[in-house]
A and B are shown apart, each in its own frame.
Chain A
């Protein structure tokens, strides 16, 4: 299943999770939006940490 390829990324400062499968519609990111497709100047919606300070995580 293609879904199994979806990854989760976590903000190093506050722990916010971005799950590619779910996206974040309140941020204008539709479900399925890949991490790589999010603009580089995007910041964590909870604490403002830059995209470069997120880690890929296995939960």
Chain B
């Protein structure tokens, strides 16, 4: 079954993700009328659109049947795919991180840093992260009664945390923020490197490749340093790590830094900014939260579901199989639509309502299965600390203008949330 052309074009349109409602509307129709069907937008290879929560989990759980690496792991155009393959000696990927790997490599590479990211290990970072959160909130208070919460707080705090974890000096943070936004904001005219929203074209691929090149140059120097002077940071784990008794292959090591440096903050920033935006629009939920701080974890989980900062990942079938009663052929490409899964009426009561006390709240914003987000505990801890510090100081908050999301069909969230507030 093929989905209607206008819907196929909408669900890949970066501008539609920036607005939000066209995406929710498109997926609402698909969940009802074509929950698992093929989209053929202009200039893009056909792919299955997976809209239901249960189907997303079913596919993600079978990571040998549905690979990450056989075709592009994120949506791309026919033109961009061709260029990347020419550039990369036939591979559809510009980097080789956990996201592009399958077993046995995936498991081996993931095990390397897995323990570092477990709750019992990152707990030791809590006092330092709290200090960082407080310093950003002091800055927010210093703005007086108005600021842009996305730009002035939400984007800077998780960036600072992940850069400390990687051991990147503070003076290099603006560079890291710029490079990350060039990667994830490649389709956004304000954020992309070439400034012309050239995603999916030859110019777009070239500028992404240049961004990757800059990252690699930067992390080469870090690797050398950590080999000479190992520290208790993730960069040292990557620099000195071994896979089957050998050091990591250079490209994979570089890709490891890039995924940690990029996935590690934009997503958390987006969720934090969108979380405050939601509270501004749902003052009753804000009042509930202020009255009962034990709801903070509920608010965080709901903000993660609500934002679903990662909009999709792609999978490729390794064999002929069946999903939702339909035949999927070996080599078929599938789009896991996390935002749709997180609004699935069969899984959530009243999915379009923001509820800080939603229980249960099992969502797919961190994915599922072998590739489930490596940084989920860190992300939750960072957000818990920020809200624990912010809420008691926040006397009132409301929107002071119209928030704006970045234009992206991959990682998407607010780039601006202007607020008026009172803080003590």
The interface residues of chain B lying within 8 Å CB-to-CB of A45 are 362
Contacting pair A15 B377 (CB below 8 A): yes
The interface residues of chain A lying within 8 Å CB-to-CB of B377 are 15
Within 8 A of A (CB), among B87-123: 110, 114, 117-120
Interface membership of chain A positions 21-59, coded 1 if the CB is closer than 8 angstroms to chain B and 0 otherwise: 000001000000000000000010111110000000101
Interface residues on A, range: 10 to 19
Question: Are A47 and B372 CB-contacts (below 8 A) given A15-B377, A26-B360?
Answer: yes
Contacting pair A15 B368 (CB below 8 A): no
Contacting pair B117 A13 (CB below 8 A): no
Contacting pair A48 B368 (CB below 8 A): yes
Contacting pair A14 B362 (CB below 8 A): no
The interface residues of chain B lying within 8 Å CB-to-CB of A14 are 372, 376
A26 to B110, CA, bound (A): 28
Q: Is A7 an interface residue (CB 8 A)?
A: no
Q: Is B206 an interface residue (CB 8 A)?
A: no
Contacting pair B61 A15 (CB below 8 A): no
Q: Is B369 an interface residue (CB 8 A)?
A: yes
The interface residues of chain B lying within 8 Å CB-to-CB of A49 are 369-370
The interface residues of chain A lying within 8 Å CB-to-CB of B120 are 57, 59
Nearest A residue to B370, CB-CB: A13
Contacting pair B362 A47 (CB below 8 A): no
Minimum C-beta distance from A8 to chain B (A): 10
Contacting pair A47 B369 (CB below 8 A): yes
Nearest B residue to A44, CB-CB: B372
The interface residues of chain A lying within 8 Å CB-to-CB of B118 are 10, 15
Contacting pair A48 B369 (CB below 8 A): yes
Q: Is B81 an interface residue (CB 8 A)?
A: no
Contacting pair A15 B57 (CB below 8 A): no
Question: Are A15 and B117 CB-contacts (below 8 A) given A48-B61, A48-B368?
Answer: yes
A15 to B176, CA, bound (A): 28
A48 to B114, CA, bound (A): 16
Q: Is B60 an interface residue (CB 8 A)?
A: yes
Contacting pair B368 A47 (CB below 8 A): yes
Minimum C-beta distance from B369 to chain A (A): 5
The interface residues of chain B lying within 8 Å CB-to-CB of A13 are 110, 114, 369-370, 372
Closest 3 CB pairs of A and B: A48-B61, A47-B372, A15-B118
